[in-house]
Amino acid sequence: MTQWVRFRHQDQTGFGTLSGQNIIVHHGDMFDSPRANGKTLVLSDVELLAPTTPSKIVALWNNFHALAAKLNVAEPAEPLYLLKAPTTATSPSAVVQKPAWYDGKVVYEGELAIVIGKTCRAVSVAQADDFILGYTCINDITAADILNKDPTFPQWARAKGFDDFCPFGPAIVTDIDPATLTVRTILNGAERQSYRISDMIFSAQELVSKISHDMTLLPGDIIACGTSLGVGVMKEPVNKITIAIDGIGELTNEFRN
């Protein structure tokens, strides 16, 4: 298991692997034979960034048996997804601000994210693991009242597309079986979500395969696997929201209304 991070240190950005409370700095390309360069940084001396700069973020809807049952909707025959703008991506510990003009509800959606490691087009389920670098935590923040504001057109992209509405990280963890993981979401100290990835309708490998038949996935692209029971509103003026996945880590951000 390797934990990849990106960071800023003294106005310079870089990447490397975690080793306890240190970062082993690498050079080259995280996705193409990266090499340790002999330098080590103390984790507390750097600012962690979003671990990739994705060209696109694919976000799943209705991908958990339990949520489909609660909503009384049919389970899809193929993945249902939308694209979040790359400008939604932001770092662990970032402060996310609700747009000043928007006075509606904003909800958290704690999720597992797949990180693509190699250019991926029309791959099989059996091949999918070869194209996955690893997994990370993600919060698919949504301006809920915008979604169905216009009865003629569900506004998925807009509701989920505001700047910084997709913090993810802090690390990409490799060589882990996602089906063994549990996602927990803690809002202002209270656990709001706790669900198993094994309840997904489409597995991580199936998602990569099926989506890659629709569009080419590039190194650093993110697939947010969808959320399950417990989505809720961030109501307080300042909200502390943590997405915790044992074996991967904790993503903690502030959301300010």
How confident is the model at residue 143, as a pLDDT? 98
Please choose, from the candidates 23, 46, 245, the residue with its C-alpha nearest in 3D space to the C-alpha of residue 136. 245
Q: Which residues contact 74 (CB under 8 A, 6 or more apart)?
A: 68
How confident is the model at residue 161, as a pLDDT? 97
How confident is the model at residue 248, as a pLDDT? 97
Would you write out the chain's pLDDT as a tens digit for each of its 257 residues?
999 999 999 999 999 999 999 999 999 999 999 999 999 999 999 999 999 999 999 999 999 999 999 999 999 999 999 999 999 999 999 999 999 999 999 999 999 999 999 999 999 999 999 999 999 999 999 999 999 999 999 999 999 999 999 999 999 999 999 999 999 999 999 999 999 999 999 999 999 999 999 999 999 999 999 999 999 999 999 999 999 999 999 999 999 99
- Other CB atoms within a 10 A radius of the CB of residue 190 amount to 8
How confident is the model at residue 236, as a pLDDT? 97
Q: Residue 136 is inside which H or E element, if any?
A: strand 132-139
State the residue for tokens 């697939």: 223
**Token representation of residue 79:** 């993945």
Question: To 5 degrees, how large is the angle CA 138–CA 140–CA 144?
Answer: 160
**Token representation of residue 171:** 């690390």
How confident is the model at residue 132, as a pLDDT? 98
- Other CB atoms within a 10 A radius of the CB of residue 241 amount to 21
How confident is the model at residue 76, as a pLDDT? 97
Q: Could you tell me the domains of the chain?
A: 1-48 (2.30.30), 50-256 (3.90.850.10)
How confident is the model at residue 111, as a pLDDT? 98
- Other CB atoms within a 10 A radius of the CB of residue 149 amount to 14
Could you read off the pLDDT of 139-164 as tens digits, one per residue?
A: 999 999 999 999 999 999 999 999 99
Q: Per DSSP, what are the bridge partners of residue 107?
A: 142, 233
Q: 237: buried, middle or exposed (CB in 10 Å: 19+, 13-18, 0-12)?
A: exposed
- Other CB atoms within a 10 A radius of the CB of residue 152 amount to 4
How confident is the model at residue 37, as a pLDDT? 95
Task: Indicate the pTM of the whole model.
Answer: 0.97
Q: Is the peptide bond before 170 cis (omega within 30 degrees of 0)?
A: yes
- Other CB atoms within a 10 A radius of the CB of residue 177 amount to 12
